[in-house]
Amino acid sequence: MPNQPNRAALHAKSENGIHSRSHWSKSALVLGLLGCCVPVLGGGQNSINAPPHPNTILLPAANNLPDANGIMLMNQNQINRKSFDAANALRQKQIDEDTAKLLILAKDFNEQVDKLGNRPLTARLAREAEVIELLAHDVHLKMTLTVGGG
């Protein structure tokens, strides 16, 4: 086989500058390693321009600006929220006022009952006890209710 070069000639450096086979295989190994490391070191695509991860689902509605109907709906929700906040503030004010009245009536009732001692309650005091009970029930009911739109 005259076309195949001598093995000794392949491993030795020739005089015209051609490197041996082992030198080329080392160079190929270095270039291969460098090619693997460049993407890891950040030499690959920029992360801003990189395509999303294959398991990532981008919903088109997530990035859309609202249309006229969406803007109107957002404005209506904001108006409703302000209205609900105002109604809740009014309810809280009524609870505070009723609680103050309840406290005054209860203190007055206790003083009158203490004055009676062991005698039975009068009709007026019984009626006052019923009013205190109704007012306390109303305050309790107002405390459990909230005005809100969700």
In eight-state DSSP terms, residue 45 is S
* Distance (Å) of CA 28 to CA 5, 8, 10, 34, 35: 21, 21, 17, 10, 10
Tell me the one-letter amino acid at 87. Answer: A
Residue 27 has what pLDDT?
59
How far apart are the C-alpha atoms of 132 and 121, rounded to whole Å? 15
Q: What is the pLDDT of residues 27-86, one digit of tens each?
A: 555 555 555 555 554 544 455 566 666 777 766 666 677 789 989 999 999 999 999 999
Choose the weakest-confidence range: 18-22, 66-70, 75-79, 139-143.
Answer: 18-22
- One DSSP character per residue, 69-125 reads HHHHHHHHHHHHHHHHHHHHHHHHHHHHHHHHHHHHHHHHHHHHHHHHTTSPPPHHH
Instruction: Write out 48-73 in H/E/C secondary structure.
Output: CCCCCCCCCCCCHHHCCCCCHHHHHH
Amino acid symbol at 8? A
* 93: pLDDT strictly greater than 80: yes
Q: Tokens 């609202």: give the residue.
A: 66
The span from the CA of 150 to the CA of 148, in Å, is 6
Higher per-residue confidence, 4 vs 89: 89
First to last CA, the chain: 90
